[in-house]
Structure formats: structure tokens, C-alpha cells
Structure 1
Amino acid sequence: MTNETGAAAAAIRFPCAACGGAMAFDTESQNLKCQYCGDEQQIDSVAGEQKEHAFDDANEDLDALHDWGTAQRAVHCEACGGETLIPGGQTTSTCVFCGSPKVLLEDNVRSIRPESVIPFRLSREEALTSFAKWKKKRWFLPNAFKKQDVRSELNGIYIPYWTYDTETYSVYSAEVGIYHYRTVTRTRVVNGKTETYTDTERYTVWHHANGDYDRSFDDILVPASGHYDGKLLDKLGDFDLGQLHGYAPEFLSGFISERYNVSREEGWGQAQEVADGTLDDEIRDIIGGDEIRNLRIRTNYEDITYKHLLLPVWNASYTYKSRPYYYMVNGQTGTVSGHVPRSAIKITLFTLMCLAIAGAAAIIILSQQSTATGT
């Protein structure tokens, strides 16, 4: 089904060869489809067709990197700070993120074009269905909200991401603790009498460890959005990057693309943090032991490459009891992430239940301790 959103009027358009009408990307056929006569046009792009760019290549053709295949204008929202890209020569009067009319148009956009894209797989109706199923599974939502048919304003938006590949070589050193056990004699009072008993005591023996570790990283995914909450985007992160297509402007027809606000240098900094965390976990596994302290890791990053991706997201806003909320739906998988109203009654009942369980557990523990000491 063809995307039909309020953002479509400001999106990239391609004329139909049969009738001259506007064609837009169709989520069902994965082709361009005329909105008037239904004629289809196949998009000349091959899955998996992408090029990695060297991160520090000073001789790279920058003009080619900025060629989106169509002229672009940036739209900046003064209300929420969101930035999107629309074709040159077209205008828009509202922000696709928050609906605010306070938007500014900028020409001569110099943004690195995407190297690849995952096209939308879910139609607007399918995204609404995913949200309806998702909200029914949220226990803390008001029952009235769960049952009602929420009227959402959906916009299909391509969210910018960076991916990074790199080869790493790490050297590490640490102190490793191994648990040992010994039998000790202790005393206790039972029914007013002192008695001795044996117990098992744990102690730790420490020794030094060091070594080196090679690791390749492929497609460390970093959101380049300046508008969305990173935690919400993480919950949408089940994209299948094996379905990436080489970028073609036809994929954007009928949709909007967000302008990246995280530079490739900033993105690499975030990717390096992800890699450092992974190396820390894996090196700890290699070292083994029961405890590790004073772990030091020094890592060299080489052969760093990057890609700029566009990934599909349905962005939605709605109002419940005069309060605005928003959510997002992964345009490939249907995964939902967002903010929803909460039921104060359900939260209170859940809290009281947890307190009751904790109180009962405390009483049982105190009773067992009293029995053990004979008091």
C-alpha cells in the first residue's frame, strides 16, 4: 500500500511515465507506484550494494558524497529543534515531528548522502495495528485508553544512522581473584546454651594476568538523529541490516528524511564507546577467575570505515485527556517504542502488592532467625 501522510506533500516526487502523475514508494510491492493510475516502476537498486568509506580519507570526492540524486533543502523547527530534508523547490509549513508552524527553510544543504537504506516494509495501517497490539500488552495503561481507538498522526520518516567497521588490537593486564574455601570453627547460642560448630569460609587468592586480543567490529550502529530520545531509538534497534539496499532517491518518494545532527566524528566517538564496552566484557571472559580488579586495556583502532544509513520509522503523535504523547514504529519490523499514559490506580495497587510481599518475606526471615537463636 502506498504511503499517504501529511508529510507526503513535502516529499521527493517522481512523475509517472504513463500518466504524468506523482509516484511514491509502495511498501507492499517495494516499487514506485503511481497514486493516480496505479502504474509501477521498479527501483534500480540491489540489496547489499553499499560502499564503506575510509574514515580518514582526505582524498575522497566530497562533492560525490554530498550528491543525494536530487537537490535538497533543510527544514528546521524552532519549536522542537527537529531537522528534515525535502527536495529543492518545495516548501512545507509545519514540522513533521511536532506539527509546529515555526519552521525555517535553508538552501545549499551540505550533508553526506546516505550510502544505503532499508526501505519501508510496513504501511501506515500496519504501523497503527502494531501500536494497537503493543498498547494492549502494557499493564500500567488506563483500561479506557487500552480499549479506545487512538487517532494518531503518522509520518513516515527515514532516521539517519552511522555504522562503523574497525580492526582492533588490545593489550591488557589485571589482577585475578580465585575463590578458595576452608573449614573454620565457630560458636553460637542455641536455647540459651553456647555450642561450637564448623562452617565453610571463603577467601580469595589473587594473581597477575596479562595478554593481547584481536577483534574485528562490523556495522556498529549509531543513531545520528538530533531529535529522538536515544533510549527510544535503542528499543527500535532490531533492524535487519542484511536487508540494506544501495541508496536511491526513489526510496524516499512519499516519505521524509531526517537530517543527521551527529557528525561522523561524533558518531565514531560513540561507536568507540560501544567497542570499548564489548572489548571489556570479552577480555574479562578470557581472563576468567571469580573476581577481576585493576583491569587495564589499551586498544589500537585501525582500518576505520563508515557508512551513512537511512532506516525507516513511523513517527506518531496523539492526544489523551488533553496531553500530547508520541510513539515510533520500526518501519521494517513493526517494533513499537514510545510514551503512553499511566494509570495511577494500577501503579498504586502494584506498589502496595510489592510492599505486602516484602513485608511478608521480612516476617518469615525474622521468624526463622528467632528460631535459630532460640529467642
Structure 2
Amino acid sequence: MAGLQEYKCPCCGGAIAFDSTIQKMKCPYCDTEFEMDALKGYDAELQDEETDSMEWETAAGGEWGEGETDGLRTYVCKSCGGEIVGDANTAATSCPFCDNPIVMMGQFSGSLKPDLIIPFKLDKKAAKEGLMKHLAGKRLLPKIFKDQNHIDEIKGVYVPFWLFDTDVDAKVRYKATKVRTWSDSDYNYTQTSHYMVHRGGSVGFEYVPVDGSTKMADDLMESIEPFNCGEAVDFQTAYLAGYLADKYDVTEEESIDRANERVKKSTEQAFAETVIGYDTVAAENISVQFHGGKAKYALYPVWLLNTTWNGNKYTFAMNGQTGKFVGDLPVDKAAATRWTLVLAGAFTALTYGAATLLHFLGLF
């Protein structure tokens, strides 16, 4: 019986001990009782759980061939420090990230060549239309945001991404409950049954994206996903003509933790969808084993717009392949006040109408 004092209650997590009166294990916190055999089986399951094994082959990107970078130039923003790449004909006068002036530094060199690129599928006109659609119907939007002059500040930028592929063997343990209630003439009863639920299997992941730029907010980039990687092609410098390309400043190795988080979360969600028939379900443990994990370096097409309102910066982004548009909008306080008064008036009228009806029916 050694070690029984170390058992944790599967229901509340409290320490449980043997109760000699009932000859069972009992939790002093939630009063749940356990048969010895059931508790031994539970402990055996916990002892059999594996730790995560998430290893990646870090060899993304390639070497630039002789003459490939001859037509490329680098530009650096003195404000945010962003470094971007463009062709020799790029007339870049402002940073796509903070909209401050940038200066040309000269010939591009010294970073990995991308493995893949998704070419821009939507042009600047489509980006303008996307912005106007995003602004349409926003009654609390300041009028200046509908000014056509701001639309011309949209820039096409290739954003660096690390794309992770792996096969995953996973085991997930869930704590689940079923609740039954009934009543008699004296009492209401509730019976809660607790279950340990296991799921295991294999899942394949391809092109799990992690933003390779600190200038691009991760939540903004994830909001315009997904990109269709089936349309990705081998990188060629010709695709950069007329656009800017952000130079990655987050390495492949630095992106691994984020990739692990996304793969593990997606695995847990996929398995959780198979746990049905319970009133509550909570994942208690997930262990994943990666096989054949590797990464690629890619450039994704994004249209960017930076503008300010009352001293605050607002960034909008559109997926240059699918047209998905995201971005926070400022609120016109005067318009918000007017709408608050309108809604308050409507609520008052509705409340008065309901009270009148109840009085008419003799219920109030």
C-alpha cells in the first residue's frame, strides 16, 4: 500500500487517503469515495503517460546563386529598424510597417534564400476595394477614414514565414463527467459520474505557419490566414518586382516554440471533437511525438495600410492571395454618444410598451 498517500483526487485534485471506516480511499475536500482497484488503475494510467518529443530538422532556406541578388536592394527604416528588400526599380519612400521615411542601404546580401513564395494574386485595386468594404456600414467610424487619399497608402509586402511539416503521434487524457438529476417529494438529487477518457492516434501537419518578422504582429498575420500553400511556387527574384519583401528577423530556431504550440493545440482540438456524450470534458494531459519534423522558408503576400487617428496608429492587413481583410477601427466619440442615446431611447420605449401590455393583461 506504499505511496497511497500521494494519490490526487481525480475530481478536485486534492490529496486523498485511506479511510479505515469505509475501507475505501476518500477525498477530504469533496468527499468522493474510491474503490482501491479503480484508483490503482487510474494511477497506472498516469504512470504510463509519455512526455512530449518535438524535434525539428532545422535546415530551411538555401544559398543564393551567383548573380541572383544583383537586382535587389535593401532599405532600412530609421524609426522602427525594419529592413526590407526590393528590386532596383523600387520607389520606396516610406516604411510599410510604421509609415516613416526609409533610406536605401545598397546591395542585398547575407540571408537565406526563400524556398517558396506565394505570388500576389490580388492587385492594389482589389486591396482598395477590400478596405472600402471593411469600412462600409461602420456608423461609428470617423469620416476621415473614408477619405480616398488614405487608400493610396496601401503597400504590397512579402512577409517572411517559417512553414513547419510533421507527423504527430498523440495521446490525450480527458476528465469528463455525466450529470443526472431527479427529485422526490422531499429532495432534489444530483449524481455526478466522473470518467477518464483516452484518445490516441496520428495526425499529419503540413505548412504550419509562423510569422518570421517582429514588425508584423502575430495576431494580425494569423487573422488573415489561411493561405493556400497549394499555389506556392519555387522562389524567384522576379516575383519581387513592384513589391517589397520584409527580411526575417525571427530565426527558424526561434520560431519552433510557436510551431509546437500551434501543432499541439490543433492536435488537442482535433481529438476533443471525438469526445462526445458527456456533460463536461476537460483535457488533463496531452503527449505528442513528432516524426520527420522539418521547416521551409517562404514569403506570403500581404497588403498593408498604416494610418493614424488622434495620435493612435492603426494597421490594416489584407491577404494578397484570398482577399481576407482585418484591422481595428477607431470610434467617433460624438457618433458613439448619439447612438448610445438612440439605443437608450429605444430601450425605454420597449420597456414602456412591455409594461403597458402587462398592465393591460392585468399581470402588473
Tell me the TM-score normalized by structure 1: 0.66
Q: Measure the CA separation in 2 of the matches of 1:241 and 1:61.
A: 16
Q: Is the 8 A contact 1:233 1:337 kept in 2?
A: no
Q: Percent identity?
A: 22
Matches within 5 A, 1:1-375: 55-56=56-57, 64-67=62-65, 69-71=68-70, 74-86=74-86, 94-101=94-101, 103=103, 105=105, 109-142=109-142, 144-145=143-144, 148-151=147-150, 152-185=152-185, 201-288=189-276, 289-293=278-282, 295-318=284-307, 325-350=314-339
Q: TM-score, normalised by structure 2?
A: 0.68
Distance in 1 of aligned mates of 2:196 and 2:224: 42
Evaluate the alpha carbon distance shift between residue 108 and residue 314 of structure 1 in structure 2; reply closer, same or farther with a 3 A threshold.
Answer: closer
**Cα distance in 2 between the residues matched to 1:358 and 1:304:** 57
Distance 1:294 1:325 in 2: 38
Conserved in 2, the CA contact under 8 Å of 1:176 and 1:209? Answer: yes
SS at match of 1:286: coil
Alignment gaps of 5+ in structure 2: 1-54, 354-363
For 1:253 and 1:301, the matched residues in 2 are separated by 38
The 8 Å contact of residues 92 and 102 in structure 2, kept in 1 or not, is answered as no
CA distance in 2, matches of 1:149, 1:262: 35
Following TM superposition, by how much is the alpha carbon of 1:162 offset from its aligned partner in structure 2, in angstroms?
A: 1.6
Residues 29-58 of structure 1 deviation map (CA, whole Å, 9 limit, x = unaligned): xxxxxxxxxxxxxxxxxxxxxxxxx9426x
Unaligned runs of 5+ in 1: 1-53, 187-197, 365-374
Instruction: Give the secondary-structure state (helix, strand or coil) at the position aligned to 2:168.
Output: strand
Aligned-residue Cα RMSD (Å) equals 3.9
Shift of 1:92: 6.6
Which residue identity lines up with residue 180 of structure 1 in the other structure?
A: R
1:316–1:304 CA distance, 2 compared to 1 (3 A)? same
**Mapped partners of 2:234, 2:283: distance in 1:** 45
Amino acid at match of 2:304: N
The letter for the 1-side match of 2:140 is F
Offset at 1:238? Answer: 3.7
Which whole-Å CA distance do the structure 2 matches of 1:209 and 1:61 have between them? 39
Secondary structure in structure 2 of the residue aligned to 1:153: coil
Tell me how far apart the structure 1 counterparts of residues 229 and 346 of structure 2 sit (CA, whole Å): 44
> Which whole-Å CA distance do the structure 1 matches of 2:185 and 2:132 have between them?
63
Cα offset, 1:321, TM superposition: 6.8
CA distance 1:148–1:113, shift in 2 (3 Å): same
TM-superposed deviation, 1:304: 0.6
For 1:85 and 1:134, locate their aligned partners in 2 and report how far apart those are by CA, in whole Å: 29
Partner Cα distance (2:89, 2:136) in 1: 43
Contact 2:199 2:271 survives alignment (8 Å): no
Structure number with higher strand proportion: 1
CA contact (8 A) 2:60 2:296 kept: no
Number of aligned pairs?
Answer: 299
Partner in structure 2 of residue 43 of structure 1: none
In 1, the alpha carbon distance for the partners of 2:317 and 2:283 equals 42
Tell me, yes or no, if the aligned pair for 2:178 and 2:279 is still in contact at 8 Å. yes
Q: Deviations over 1:256-306 (max 9, x none)?
A: 100112211222221211111122223333343222346111111111121
Secondary structure of the corresponding residue to residue 333 of structure 1: coil
The one-letter code sitting in structure 1 at the alignment partner of 2:158 is: Y
CA deviation after TM superposition for structure 1 residue 205, in Å: 0.4
CA distance in 1, matches of 2:146, 2:90: 40
Which secondary structure state, in structure 2, belongs to the residue aligned with residue 277 of structure 1? helix
Please report how far the alpha carbon of residue 251 of structure 1 lies from its aligned counterpart in structure 2 after TM superposition. Answer: 0.6
C-alpha distance 167-105 of structure 1, shift in aligned 2 (>3 A): same
Distance 1:268 1:361 in 2: 55
